[in-house]
Structure 1
């Protein structure tokens, strides 16, 4: 294979993880179900987080790093997963690719689009397998919807209505962590939650060409991490935006951390001239359909997604790193396009006007 040397048959992919905060638990849990992978190194600047993860994962002391460059250079690491704050994704991924190793990157690709062109250029100079962690692409309902849309079951797409609802802004005692710092996060709910919807929409229906947004910061101050003093929250808690899609459809999106009663809810409705697709990812193995003759007979009804549409995010990364390209994942080029949309939404919310997206 051109991207990397073919690994020995039956050899496990040895993975190092940079950033051992709460999102890393999803990665380690996913990798535990991958028989062809093993976590061999961890990295975090916080010694407590580093050693807690190292103990839990049985990582020897010599492969617990506080400098990510050391993890990348470690000969017992074949591939790297990046689970750090947003502003670190691009420089770290660039270093991994330049080191000639596959990389799996948490979303969004960056705090902003700045720096991403250098990453893309590094890939062009030294191509390596890479993947963005757009988790919801792997949900059975989303994958089945993709199949139906590719088969033109809905006819021409007229409109799309999407919501991503969380209540994390109201967690009692939540302090001024990096997610509320614009320099480190770039955006709030827009980049944290909205980027999933942006990727899902691009995956299902094609490019977003223009946006018009309204955003709010609801909890305006929080206690600092290391004192009882308060600091300003500089990222959004909530955003509603409308969008034009390249396919001709109009779309409306709501992303919020202020939806009481919702831990993590995604609702997605697609309306076409010949039918409807609707799903709620609280039940990822179900989809609601009304297609073709059903419009006149049974109406919108629940369908169980066929089991073959199940997929694993971490399993997919292991597959591409080992050269088993079963299907094309979201890569850094997809992540870059999503970042342009995130930046456009943020700018539109500041200007309170339509912003056109140039890819």
Structure 2
């Protein structure tokens, strides 16, 4: 909770998949007409932005934002891919919380998943979807893994644990 962490200083939120590496077929999502909508930032980032706005109840300070967008998988079926498959957003919310947001569709399989780290003056909250239904809470020298109830949702095939959540 906010009381345990104290004032929130920064958040790191990452959503990493490997679909650009796994999917070899060229589709409409790779075409130049899609380059502003369906890449890593558009497909995955919108969910992270939604989460940030919900959890921290503060809009982004637009003049603080720095965005890096890359296309790592540049070609499929000998056609150029125009859409970003990796993005990084750095900036600040109006309430002064610093934000680091990474979305990727070109991540090594063992690094895929969703993670969030909330750094407060008194402690740190950390969750990664690889940890199944547990999160880490660190305050001072005390570190504890806290178990959440099992989910009722199931993950689709070929998606990482926690996708359904």
Q: TM-score, normalised by structure 2?
A: 0.78
Q: Which structure is higher in helix share?
A: 1
| 4+ aligned runs moved over 6 Å, structure 1 | none
Distance 1:209-1:262 versus aligned 2 partners, 3 A rule = farther
Q: Which runs of 5+ in 2 are unaligned?
A: 154-165
Answering whether residue 63 of structure 2 is matched by residue 220 of structure 1, we say no
Q: CA deviation at 1:278?
A: 0.5
Q: CA deviation at 1:163?
A: 2.0
Q: CA deviation at 1:231?
A: 2.4
Q: Which structure is higher in strand share?
A: 2
> How many residues are paired up?
150
The superposition leaves residues 194-240 of structure 1 with CA deviations (integer Å, 9 ceiling, x where unpaired) of: 222212211211322232111111122222xxxxxx32211101111
**Higher relative contact order, structure no. (Cα contacts within 8 Å, ≥ 6 residues apart):** 2
Corresponding residue for residue 249 of structure 1? 97
Q: CA deviation at 1:169?
A: 1.6
SS in 2 for 1:200: helix
What is the correspondence of 1:22-171 to structure 2 with a 5 Å cutoff?
Answer: 148-149=1-2, 152-171=3-22
Corresponding residue for residue 140 of structure 1? none
Q: CA deviation at 1:264?
A: 3.9
The whole-number CA distance in structure 1 between the counterparts of 2:47 and 2:73 is 23
Corresponding residue for residue 55 of structure 2? 204
The CA RMSD measured in Å over matched residues stands at 2.4
Q: Which runs of 5+ in 1 are unaligned?
A: 1-147, 224-229, 313-359
Q: CA deviation at 1:179?
A: 1.9
Structure of larger gyration radius: 1
The whole-number CA distance in structure 2 between the counterparts of 1:153 and 1:180 is 44
The whole-number CA distance in structure 2 between the counterparts of 1:278 and 1:244 is 19
Distance 1:192-1:251 versus aligned 2 partners, 3 A rule = same
The whole-number CA distance in structure 2 between the counterparts of 1:202 and 1:269 is 15
The superposition leaves residues 68-87 of structure 1 with CA deviations (integer Å, 9 ceiling, x where unpaired) of: xxxxxxxxxxxxxxxxxxxx
Distance 1:256-1:208 versus aligned 2 partners, 3 A rule = same
Contact 2:15–2:103 (8 Å) recurs in 1? yes
Corresponding residue for residue 191 of structure 1? 42
The whole-number CA distance in structure 1 between the counterparts of 2:114 and 2:97 is 20
Corresponding residue for residue 30 of structure 2? 180
Corresponding residue for residue 147 of structure 2? 304
Q: CA deviation at 1:263?
A: 7.3
The whole-number CA distance in structure 2 between the counterparts of 1:190 and 1:153 is 32
Q: CA deviation at 1:180?
A: 1.4
The whole-number CA distance in structure 1 between the counterparts of 2:111 and 2:25 is 19
Q: TM-score, normalised by structure 1?
A: 0.38
Q: CA deviation at 1:247?
A: 2.2
